[in-house]
Amino acid sequence: MQRLECTIQKYKWGKKGLNGLVAQLSGLIKVEEDESYAELWMGTHKNGPSKIKNEGILLSEYFEKNPKVLGEHEKNGLNFLFKVLSVGSSLSVQSHPTKEQAIYLHSKDPKNYPDDNHKPELAIALTEFELLCGFRKPEEILSNIKLNKEIEEIIGEEEMKKFSIKNDEEENKNSLKIIFTKIWTAPEEKIKQILNKILERISKKEEKTNIDNLIIRLNNQFPEDIGILAPLFLNFFTLKPGEATFLGPNEPHAYLFGDCVECMALSDNTIRAGLTPKFKDVQTLCENLTYKMSGPPIFESKKFANGIVEYSPPVEEFVVHKLDVRKT
């Protein structure tokens, strides 16, 4: 077994100092209290490669010199990237492309889409972990729109009539795509007007809902940003330690707070559409989302052996095992 020296990503949304597990696990001699420690990367991706600590060489070089340690499945190098995340404030509203879409996006815009690979990912909570993930059930979306009628100015009466709990699944997917796209591509000034109306109304409520409080919180982090409306459409829930969610291609999500481990195919491709100062590609995100509506997408683990729990998502690149050393 080799000890790794891992890359630490200091993105703005990371937890400060030793408040997060990334800093605690980093192995750094000195952790700065005011620095944001967001992600710890374990793998061979060019944007954050790991090193063999005792030998001072890249993990990828070690594999080239010792190909047998990878086995048959990984004979061309690691097919996955493993991370620890410490989320102190919201990440972007985002999705990840399919393999075919990744090839196209990379060829068209390699700066913003650095890989020609897909990025299915599994997130397993290490602490209580808040997130937005997947579209809500149709009745919840309709209820949230009616409770926040200001956005009907953008959606329009005709589209509101088409979206109904009486429709079949495909009809509602098509309607939701139109509604979501109209909102996310609306003029910036119109969005600001709508958001300010919603925030003014919410601020006067004596009893605020969880969604109300989240809207206020997101506005404090990203004032007048379109992503503030994401909780009306996406499931807002909290994973307990050990619980997981699997994010397939073109599923919308945004991590909000907490620590988790992530395992994903070897890619750093992200399609962003709000709650970020980074490059946004709203049209690509809206065009390609699945628009599948359900409850919170909790991914079920299973017992693999004594002291071993397995998380096996429907992808060929990885399976994650959680070991309890007290029981193995």
Locate 181 and state its tokens.
Answer: 């796209």
Percent of the chain with pLDDT over 70: 99
pLDDT in tens, 136-190: 999 999 999 999 999 999 999 899 888 988 888 999 999 999 999 999 999 999 9
pLDDT band at 75 (very low <50, low <70, confident <90, very high): low
Instruction: Specify whether the CB–CB gap between 92 and 254 falls below 8 A.
Output: yes
Q: How far apart are CA 97 and CA 119, in angstroms?
A: 7
pTM recorded for the entire structure: 0.94
* Gyration radius of the chain over CA positions: 21
Q: How far apart are CA 281 and CA 184, in angstroms?
A: 11
Instruction: Specify whether the CB–CB gap between 134 and 252 falls below 8 A.
Output: yes
Locate 266 and state its tokens.
Answer: 């070897």
* 61-64 contacts at long range (C-beta below 8 A, 24 or more positions apart): 62/2
The pLDDT value recorded for residue 67 is 81
pLDDT in tens, 302-328: 999 888 999 999 999 999 999 988 876
The pLDDT value recorded for residue 167 is 82
The pLDDT value recorded for residue 69 is 82
pLDDT band at 58 (very low <50, low <70, confident <90, very high): very high
Positive or negative torsion for Cα 105, 109, 114, 115? positive
Q: Give the residue numbers annotated as catalytic, written as ranges.
A: 272
Q: How far apart are CA 197 and CA 218, in angstroms?
A: 15
Percent of the chain with pLDDT over 90: 85
Is the pLDDT at 28 greater than 90, yes or no? no
pLDDT band at 76 (very low <50, low <70, confident <90, very high): low
Is the pLDDT at 229 greater than 90, yes or no? yes
The pLDDT value recorded for residue 78 is 87
Taken in order of first residue, the domains within the chain and their CATH numbers are 4-133+238-323 (2.60.120.10), 136-234 (1.10.441.10)
Q: How far apart are CA 219 and CA 132, in angstroms?
A: 15
Locate 48 and state its tokens.
Answer: 């954050």
Mean pLDDT of 113-123: 95
